[in-house]
Structure 1
Amino acid sequence: MNFLRRSVLDRQLKHSLSRNKCRLDSGIRGLRKDMELTLEYGVKLHQIKINASKLSIGAYTDIVSGSELQNVSSIGRYCSIARNVTIGQNRKSHPLSWLSSHSGLVGLRQRQSPATSTHEEVKQTVVGHDVWIGMDVLILEGVTIGTGAVIGAQSLITKDVPPYAIVTGSPGKVQRYRFEPHIIDGLLASQWWNLTPHQLAELPIEDPEALLDALKGFVVPDSHPGKVVVRNQPFAVDYHAAQ
């Protein structure tokens, strides 16, 4: 794609994203071919690379520059993802039983001799709501990161992370949980992430137990914020207003 064509598409993309208070700083250069990206209201994606085939990112999530989204199908609302995080790394991209583990050489061999390709399906990673991922974290494909989890910087995540767990290390291990079990159960049942920031700011978010008391008898409704759906090569972008 030439520079002029890309500039035109980037302007079109930026206009559509701005209607939904979203940003995608890398523009179409950061998107893989034949992909579909859905962004809910207020998503901020800095200079990142997206290699996922179909990915949905929830409202108010912020992903800092240098991160790469590979085999991941969904990232929830209110997530904070730091610099240089990789989500959904293929576990089989560097086969140790071959002559060389070099991914380029492996790919060339598999194209020349398809029978050598693994037929095991690459599994998608799923990230829940309100997940905080620190700098330089690597998360392998097929992992589920539970809502409210915290992953410490430079951790390697090879298996599922429970909701509201604090995980660090290589490989990552649960160090503790953010709250007592009854509070975790209450927060998950409340589905508080369907509320807007302004609605949450009126509640005692500094004290989750008090927040649960405040929500007693109140059913948090399902929310359907505005969203932008981006498709690449062929390029298309659609805006869907909040319902």
Structure 2
Amino acid sequence: MYIIFNEAFALVKLQKKYPTCAFYSGAKISNTVFGNYNVIFNDVLIDSCSIGDHSYIQKRSTIFNTDIGKFCSIASGVSLGPGIHKTDGVSTHPVFYLNNTPLIKKFSDKDLLISSKKTTIGHDVWIGEKAIVLDGVTIGTGAIIAAGSVVTKDVAPYVIVGGVPAKQIKYRFEEKEIDLLLKSEWWDYPEDWLAKNCKSFNNINEFLSNMPKK
């Protein structure tokens, strides 16, 4: 009961700090900075992250040491930055190569491995259900990660990848269109412009024709 109460109290404090966001029950969040209009659904675990405006994370996802851009859609059961194990020793168990670990008993008196590397998710990225993105990987803006994929290396902007390990399926748009979208940085446009022009987001040609000139 005490643990449950503390978790609920922490969410209440977080809600007061970020009043435009929504935090559902069971979410466990630490050392994380939010933007505006984020939604964190039930039983999500987040630690040491930053999350941009309008991005949401569906239930039972685990997100560690990750920077997430704006307008990202992260489905249920996704794992970002799950941690690294040493694979070239006799054992992969961290008690033999980590001292800074929450495990009760450990044999190593120092850390012999960096067990977590920063993972970076660009803007407007969609990550499908139960996908895994390994530590240190960068997912480019506009990319789509198919459900159940295991992403082991960087993904270019506006590429769709899928599989285990994830491989490129196709680009979402033509090269010229991708270049214009990236240069537009539309995710930083004012909220009133986004509201006024929301219908144009359904058609790439209409959007590019309505895009403000820099």
TM bin, normalised by shorter chain, reads 0.7 to 0.9
Query: Matches of 2:116 and 2:10 in 1, distance apart?
Result: 31
Query: Matches of 1:109 and 1:8 in 2, distance apart?
Result: 27
Measure how far apart 1:98 and its partner are: 2.4
Distance 1:206 1:5, change over 3 A: closer
Match of 1:148 in 2: 142
Q: Which amino acid aligns with 1:31?
A: I
Match of 2:40 among 45, 58, 64: 45
On the 8 A contact 1:71/1:90 being kept in 2, the answer is: no
RMSD: 2.6
Distance 1:120 1:198, change over 3 A: same
Match of 1:224 in 2: none
Match of 1:231 in 2: none
Distance 1:8 1:160, change over 3 A: closer
Match of 1:11 in 2: 12
Distance 1:189 1:135, change over 3 A: same
Measure how far apart 1:12 and its partner are: 3.0
Measure how far apart 1:122 and its partner are: 3.3
- Aligned-residue identity in percent: 34
On the 8 A contact 1:26/1:49 being kept in 2, the answer is: no
Query: Matches of 2:202 and 2:10 in 1, distance apart?
Result: 43
Query: Matches of 1:153 and 1:105 in 2, distance apart?
Result: 34
On the 8 A contact 2:95/2:108 being kept in 1, the answer is: no
On the 8 A contact 2:96/2:106 being kept in 1, the answer is: no
Match of 2:87 among 88, 95, 101: 95
Q: Which has the higher contact order (CA 8 A, sep 6+)?
A: 1
Unaligned 5+ segments in structure 2 are none
Q: Which amino acid aligns with 1:150?
A: I
Match of 2:162 in 1: 168
Query: Matches of 1:109 and 1:14 in 2, distance apart?
Result: 33
Unaligned 5+ segments in structure 1 are 220-243
Query: Matches of 1:210 and 1:8 in 2, distance apart?
Result: 46
Residue 179 of structure 1 pairs with residue 173 of structure 2: yes
Residue 30 of structure 1 pairs with residue 28 of structure 2: yes
Distance 1:31 1:190, change over 3 A: same
**Count of paired positions:** 206
Measure how far apart 1:209 and its partner are: 2.4
TM-score by length of 2: 0.84
Query: Matches of 2:83 and 2:9 in 1, distance apart?
Result: 33
Matched residue SS, 1:69: strand
Matches within 5 A, 1:213-232: 213-217=209-213, 219=214
My pick for the range that moved more, 82-91 or 157-166, is: 82-91
Q: Which amino acid aligns with 1:12?
A: K
Residue 82 of structure 1 pairs with residue 81 of structure 2: no
Matched residue SS, 1:111: coil
Query: Matches of 1:6 and 1:173 in 2, distance apart?
Result: 39
Kindly provide the CA deviation profile for residues 126-157 of structure 1, in whole angstroms up to 9, marking residues without a partner as x: 00000000001011000000000000000000
